[in-house]
Amino acid sequence: MIAAALFPNSTPHWFRQDVTAASLGLFAGGPAAFAANLHSCFAQLHGPRRHARPSTSWHPYRSETGAAVLFDGTIDNSEELAHRLDLPSDAPVEALYVAAVERWGTSADARIVGQYTSIVAERGGSLRLARSPWNGPSLFFMVHGGVVMAASIPRVFFAAGFPKRLKRDQIAESLYLIEDLSGGYWYEGLNYVGHGTTVTIDPDGRWHTHRWYNPHAIEPVRYASDRDYVERAEELLREAVTAALRPARKPGILLSGGLDSSIVADEMLRQLQPHEKLHSFTFVPRADFEETPPPGMFFDDRPLVEALAAEHPGLEAHFSDNADYDFDGLYDRFLLAGDIGRPSSAISAAYHGPAMLAAERGCDWLFHAAMGNNSFSQDGRWAYVEFARTGRWRELWRMARYHPGDARPMWRRILARSILPQFPASMREAVRTIIHGRQPPLNRQASLLKDSAIERLDLDRRAQRTGDRRSGEWFRSRREWLETIWRLHDLGAEQHHAAEQVYGLKMRDVTAYRPLIEFCAAIPTQQFVAGGVQRLLARRMAEGRLPEIQRANTDYGQHNVDWHLRMSERLPELREEIARMESVPELAQLIDTRRAYALLDHWPDTTPRDPKTVKAHFHALTGAILTARFHRYVSGTNH
């Protein structure tokens, strides 16, 4: 993680530059490396756990023009860049980056492949901030009282003296799943560098944003045969894995029974030395969870992971049932690490046990494949509409016929997935109301916000304006899919740094490799779905890599399947959490505690299967409880 501040005139009395390094290293066991002079200060933490005291003579890398450079992340095409820039192949990453910026200017980041953020303090007193597209780590900046500062996480600003004030209505917006960046990122004046973007901040505090990356500008890719697509995807996967493994001494991987992480694990084992082990970490339900999955789903990844390990002697599989981590496990530490409290954090709590187990086993890097389902393991579900529009009726029929878990008559499947989505939104909603009754948006179903608060704050309109009104509809076009995942991988990047701090591990999504993502966004739909087979590209890549039972499996794995069992044991405690909300005026005005009590009073005996019931009892309840804790954290109260 990195931080830098410029104060052209003098150090303001309120600015505590001396605590910058300590705040950055709060979880690391000691302060970050730090350097300062009359008009600037810089700090860098090179890993989530500090293994040695930083040198007192540390200073940021400076270019020949005098620019100071901080770089957080990796450059994957470093050898190519070094050659093009006439630099040694072992040149520091900061030297590569600033040389690219000084030679190519605004087009520099387009030539760099990696997952990174950077701060360049130029001699003229301006700050140049950059963040790579597709999963670049977070970077923020604030301008206040004569100080311009940039840092990887919000905590550093507030420790240094910047005002810490939540944006007006932020609690309500977060409970309604709205991500509105106007006026700041969660906090007033806290600005967020978008991915695929550079921001230049002038000495007077004005800034200019240049979004250099456009996911819709990716040129189509067409090959002569299906095999050509598979070979190119495998070539790009090899590149991604090579880049990921480069700094790792003892790698681990979050492994499911699905296709994407398993294919990545296989490729890692192919590239590791024969004596090296790849440690995998998988969450499983508690042993006393005995419910059976519905058609088209599976609850436990263990059998598929064990089948993979049986064919790969170098894979050492570990399993965690998250015995010590319920939906709120480690939440308070994540708040301290990231200063952002999303109500949806309950979903990701399933990863706490496996990640902490990886740290216990001594892994230094923990890899995952979160982007896999939106790259080579894409199911291509927009094809329902595309096939109908282009008259590929045979393909459409096969796709609808073999979709897992859909027991509706064929005519209804095709009408619902292929014909209805082509009508205007108002007509789609009217038809669904006739068939299913009036259905509130997912924002309401998964929230305990009072109806009066939603109406008073006009949250439906805000959600519509920001693109956060959750209709639950599938993607109606490839462009819509691409736009959705582009936005999805932009916001919330601070959770990457929070996870690294809390777990004590470096982490990386191997599948968030830009050439691989762009390739998968550019190839024809029929490479993902054809002949009724979805995730077709991944299944072809899995030949000779995965057990056939896993390669051919079409069921979907479900996370947090034992949530009902866990929460049932804590009902009195959950009731106390609701009571605490009632004592806080701001929360009492927003959260429908009467409805919350009713959900607890009518707690189901077994895990509900109805999606609306799950959204109410799991998502809405846990979201309200976590948001109340976030409110206490920010306000400094103990209600």
- pLDDT tens column, 391-419: 999 999 999 998 887 889 999 999 999 99
pLDDT value, residue 40: 95
Torsion of CA 55, 56, 57, 58, to 10 degrees: 60
Residue 383 pLDDT exceeds 60: yes
Q: Which CATH class is domain 217-377+488-557?
A: alpha beta
Residue 106 pLDDT exceeds 80: yes
CATH fold of 2-154+190-213 reads Glutamine Phosphoribosylpyrophosphate, subunit 1, domain 1 (3.60.20)
Asked whether the domain spanning 217-377+488-557 has the same topology as the one spanning 2-154+190-213, the reply is no
Q: Which residues of 92-126 are buried (b: 16+ CB within 10 A; e: fewer)?
A: ebbbbbbbbbbeeeeebbeebbbbbbbbbbbeebb
Residue 264 pLDDT exceeds 90: yes
pLDDT value, residue 57: 85
State the average pLDDT over residues 61-89. 96
User: If you average pLDDT over every residue of the chain, what do you get?
Assistant: 95
Cβ–Cβ under 8 Å, residues 98 and 89: no
Where do the domains of the chain lie?
Answer: 2-154+190-213, 217-377+488-557, 383-439, 442-470+563-639
pLDDT grade, residue 52 (50/70/90)?
Answer: low
DSSP secondary structure, 318-371, as one string: EEE--TT--TTTTHHHHHHHHS---TTHHHHGGGHHHHHHHHHTT-SEEEE-TT
pLDDT value, residue 500: 98
Strand 251-254 and strand 278-283: pairing?
A: parallel
Cβ–Cβ under 8 Å, residues 147 and 7: yes
